Amino acid sequence: MDGIIIIDKPSGITSTEVVRRIKAKVKPARVGHLGTLDPFATGVLPIMIGEGTKLAPMLEGGEKVYEGIVKLGVETDTLDRDGNVIREAPVPSIDDARLHQVARQFTGKIDQVPPVFSAIKREGVRMYKLARKGNPEDLAPPPVRTVDIKQLSVLQGDAADELRFIATCSPGTYARALARDIGVALGTVAHLKELRRTRSGSFAIAEATSLDDALSGAGRIIGLREALPNLAELDVDDAAEKLLRNGDPRALEGQLPAGSEMFKVIHHGELVAVAKATSRVTAIIVRGFNPSS
């Protein structure tokens, strides 16, 4: 049970609840997730199991792809459909040319003010906890951050007051804040009505399984080796494998993969370690993995 399973998270539960339910099935194995999705959102939620939890630092920086629906004319305190309405405004007439212009405006590196309802900490406390204690509008907004929206398309939705978007963006981008800002750019207010993540790093929705199927044992576990497809591989013999299991990187000297700073060390098809070259002939162990039982 060491590896990663890609869950198509259902709407209505937190990412933490998904972890809790899977952990109850695989205990005592450790379980964690990559990239929190809001309760109303659906889509790709990579769940790490057992030794797979050690992969988190190597996987959490991948770009994300989101598809969503923006509701114009209404803003909520959470910037999504689950929040309380805090203001309304007329929705102007919008044509395709204007939507194309807005998409260009928010493509590339942009400054974004995260939602008050977020996991960002202020004086050690998550801001969503502070927002729940009083009037969210009384809280100073979180600090501006620079995010990278690499591709963005914005199209008219099924209703006159709805837009559809697809965004490829850097980690840390808030789709709820993007919905708010698109509304402002169009001369109105807005919130995020629907959100679906279709890719997180190298993990795509086509690989995902439903939570119910995963809990019944039907989900596919992506092995440790397979979960790092972009790293070069170095196969080692029995003697080197034994040294590496004991944390000794000297077994790698003189046989590093050419042109690769980070690489996987493999023995009989199993991931032994992730290593980093420190010169053309030496390396350090970034993370070692216990042998499968």
Q: What is the pLDDT of residues 161-220, one digit of tens each?
A: 999 999 999 999 999 999 999 999 999 999 999 999 999 999 999 999 999 999 998 889
Per cent of the chain over pLDDT 90 is 83
pLDDT of 127 reads 78
What is the residue type of 34? L
Q: Which 3 state secondary structure label does DSSP give 225?
A: coil
Averaged confidence pLDDT in the chain? 93
Classify residue 132 as exposed, middle or buried by CB count within 10 Å of its CB (0-12, 13-18, 19+).
exposed
Average pLDDT over residues 69-93: 96
Q: Which helix (H) or strand (E) holds 144?
A: none
Superfamily of domain 232-288: PUA domain (2.30.130.10)
pLDDT of 200 reads 96
* pLDDT tens column, 99-134: 999 999 999 999 999 988 878 888 788 877 887 877
Residue 259 banded pLDDT, cuts 50, 70, 90: confident
Active-site residue flag, 111: no
pLDDT of 139 reads 78
Does the pLDDT at position 42 exceed 90? yes
Residue 211's contacts (CB-CB under 8 Å, 6 or more residues apart) are 7, 8, 9, 10, 18, 21
Locate tokens 């795509």: which residue?
204
Cα separation of 109 and 213, whole Å?
Answer: 39
pLDDT of 65 reads 98
Domain limits, the chain: 3-61+202-215, 64-197, 232-288
Domain 64-197 indexed as CATH 3.30.2350.10: yes
Alpha helices in the chain (DSSP H): 15-26, 56-59, 96-105, 127-133, 175-185, 211-215, 238-245
**DSSP assignment letter at 206:** G
Q: Which 3 state secondary structure label does DSSP give 153?
A: strand
3-state helix/strand/coil string of 100-137: HHHHHHCCEEEEECCCCCCCCEECCEEHHHHHHHCCHH
Average pLDDT over residues 55-61: 90
C-alpha distances out from residue 157 to 69, 193, 282, Å: 7, 11, 56
Residue 104 has a CB neighbour count (10 Å cut-off) of: 11
Q: Which 3 state secondary structure label does DSSP give 38?
A: coil
Does the pLDDT at position 261 exceed 90? yes
Q: Which of 38, 77, 80, 181 is catalytic?
A: 38
pLDDT of 293 reads 63
Residue 248 banded pLDDT, cuts 50, 70, 90: very high
